[in-house]
Amino acid sequence: MTDITTTRISQGAARRIAGGRWSHCRGARNAGEIAVKVSRRDVMKLGLLGAGAAALPIGAGIREALADTSPIQSPSFTPFSRPLTLPPVIKPVRTVDGVDFYEVSQTVGRQEILPGRIATVWGYNGIYPGPTFMVQSGQPIVLTARNGLTAAATGLPGGVSTTVHPHGMDVEARSDGHPLSLVLPGGFLEHHYPNSQPATTLFYHDHAIDHTSRNVYMGLSGFYLISDGNERSLPLPNGPFDIPMCFHDRLFNADGSLFFPTDGALPLRQGVFGDVILVNGVPTPFLQVERRKYRFRLLNGSDARFYNFQLGTGDPFIVIATDGGLMPHPVQTAELEMGVAERYSVVVDFAKYRVGASVLLQNVRAKSFGDPVDPAKVRDVMRFDVVADAVDTSSVPADLAPPLDVDPAQATVTRRWEFNRRHGAWTINGELFDGARIDATPKRGSTEIWEFVNDSGGCRHPIHIHLIQYRVLDRNGRPPKPYENGPKDTVTLGPDQTVRVAMKWSSQFLGTYVFHCHNLSHEDHMMMTQFEVVA
């Protein structure tokens, strides 16, 4: 597929294309800021889509997309040879009237991901994963993101246009990183993050139209942690015993560079499935732990891969938080399924193991639909090595946080969304993404029930709604998994499943947001649509 926005649209051209909807923000505060809105229709009209992409072949490509062979095999390496590392915590560049100002640049970096081999990454401040934001609920911040992914830096004609999406955040539309609000190479955008929600593990990632999959694969993703007074008052493991971990599967060329498949089967491909599992960018790492409790904030940041996590000892995880924050009560589970973009905080107690013991974190998921990788290759994810005794004063209380404010009995509207294959692509209610179309106009303050229906054979879709958190009501009429009983912004929709969720449109913000499958390959091709919150 031709690189639409990144290779073909110069700033001038984008201005011409976008015509009246060009939002060029050059104010005293935003000097030099460049944001462009281009609808896919505009792009198509101008013939910027490659011929093959514009004429999506009906039904073609399915065979290739479902082919059961990996395009390459990554070089082998010794597992558990590197320690888990944590991305650095980003510091504000200045504080004005109590508001912290942060800056990141999307730039090209070079990183040793596979031992002894160097990969080019596109990272926030040149690092992958990007720096971690640690902010307080109730304290807004301003983030200026500069796009340094120029043609010269990336070697791609036109460079790479970007948007930054704070996944799971209650945020104004303009700062949400809408896929069409592209920031061109050399431009920047100021984002206003209110941090008005309770303590939670969010993440920020690229969301550029048609290229989210590639841009995130190349490294544009990082953690965004919000804390609050309630969380701090709880005796949960914290500080050095509270560890974020993101899971990315990747393919590597023989020289250690990232391999991103861009072949003709794109429109219907199942996703990019890697044969190396990275935890915070480290392949199959180890982590030295003390004999005490730890909180792990797990994020499935993969393109398409789902994980079923288990401890090698068979001991349970204590799940304390879902996507949008702490659950009302902890839930124990021996196996934890994580769809793409889901986050769970789990507590693991290593006190029962002796010093010298090792505990594996394993992915026991059987082969997924369309996944060419041998499950044995992606089974061992990391290893905890118990190295020291500890005095542990932390605990997991029975009550963690009030439940999400939504009462399905108050719902005034029910919307049905079908996730399927049509027109040779991934669709919602049979429609491809179109930046000129709005498919729902929920009223601010109202409560709705959304019904997700999957009749796409063996495909599995992680369904994400921007702006709000929802409650999962049921899956095929039965209660969700106990550990799904917390605030969620992404839910797993399996084959032949109907999942119902309820949300209250309690955000103060009005405007247009996207809603999509978070299999990033599905999202790009084009299982995404828009809703507009109205007064």
Residues that bind ligand C2O (CB under 6 A): 165, 167, 205, 207, 341, 464, 466, 514, 516, 518
Least separation, in Å, of the C-beta of 270 and Cu ion?
Answer: 9
Closest approach, Cβ 419 to Cu ion, in A, equals 6
Question: Which of the listed partners (ligand C2O, Cu ion, none) does 517 bind, with a CB threshold of 5 to 8 Å by partner kind?
Answer: Cu ion
Where in 459-478 is the site for Cu ion (CB under 5 A)?
461
- With beta carbons less than 8 A apart as the criterion, state whether 85 and 281 touch: yes
| CA–CA separation, 274 and 471 (whole Å) | 31
User: In this structure, how many other beta carbons lie within 10 angstroms of the beta carbon of residue 192?
Assistant: 13
Helix (H) or strand (E) holding 484: none
Nearer residue to ligand C2O within complex by CB, 119 or 208:
208
Smallest distance from ligand C2O to CB 324, Å: 13
Task: Quote the CA–CA distance of 200 and 325 in Å, as a whole number.
Answer: 4
Q: Work out what residue 475 binds among Cu ion, ligand C2O, none; the CB cut-off runs from 5 to 8 Å by kind.
A: none
Please name the helix (run of DSSP H) or strand (run of DSSP E) that holds residue 256, with its range, or none: none
The item of Cu ion, ligand C2O, none sharing an interface with residue 167, based on CB under 5 to 8 Å by kind, is ligand C2O
Q: Whole-angstrom Cα distance, residue 205 to residue 23?
A: 22
Q: How far is the CB of 213 from Cu ion (least distance, A)?
A: 12
Closest residue to ligand C2O in the complex (CB)? 167
Q: How far apart are the first and last CA of the chain?
A: 39
> Residue 68 to residues 9, 71, 270: CA-CA distances in angstroms?
36, 10, 11
Q: Of 103, 109, 105, which is closest to residue 124 (Cα–Cα)?
A: 105
Span of 24-32, 105-113, 148-156, 509-517 interacting with Cu ion by CB under 5 A: 509-517
Of 160 and 311, the one with the shorter C-beta distance to ligand C2O is 160
3-state SS class at 490: strand
DSSP state of 83: B
Identify which of residues 165 and 174 has a Cβ nearer to ligand C2O in the complex. 165
Among 49, 331, 517, 528, binds Cu ion (CB under 5 A): 517
The entry of ligand C2O, Cu ion, none near residue 365 (CB within 5 to 8 angstroms by kind) is: none
Instruction: List the structure tokens of 254.
Output: 């023989």
282 interacts with Cu ion by CB under 5 A:
no
Q: How far is the CB of 191 from ligand C2O (least distance, A)?
A: 15
CB atoms within 10 A of CB 316: 18
Contacts of 143 (CB under 8 A, 6+ apart): 101, 102, 103, 104, 164, 190, 191, 193
CB of 203 to ligand C2O, least distance (A): 7
- Which CB sits closer to ligand C2O, 236 or 341? 341
**CA separation, residue 319 to residues 77, 112, 344, 345 (Å):** 32, 33, 7, 6
Among 469, 519, 529, 530, which residue interacts with Cu ion (rule: CB under 5 A)?
A: 519
Instruction: Return the one option of ligand C2O, Cu ion, none that residue 269 interacts with (CB less than 5 to 8 A, by type).
Output: none
488 binds, among Cu ion, ligand C2O, none (CB under 5 to 8 A by kind): none
Which residue stretch of 109-117, 199-207, 354-362, 510-518 sits at the interface with Cu ion (rule: CB under 5 A)? 510-518
In the complex, the residues that contact Cu ion under the rule CB under 5 A are: 461, 517, 519, 522
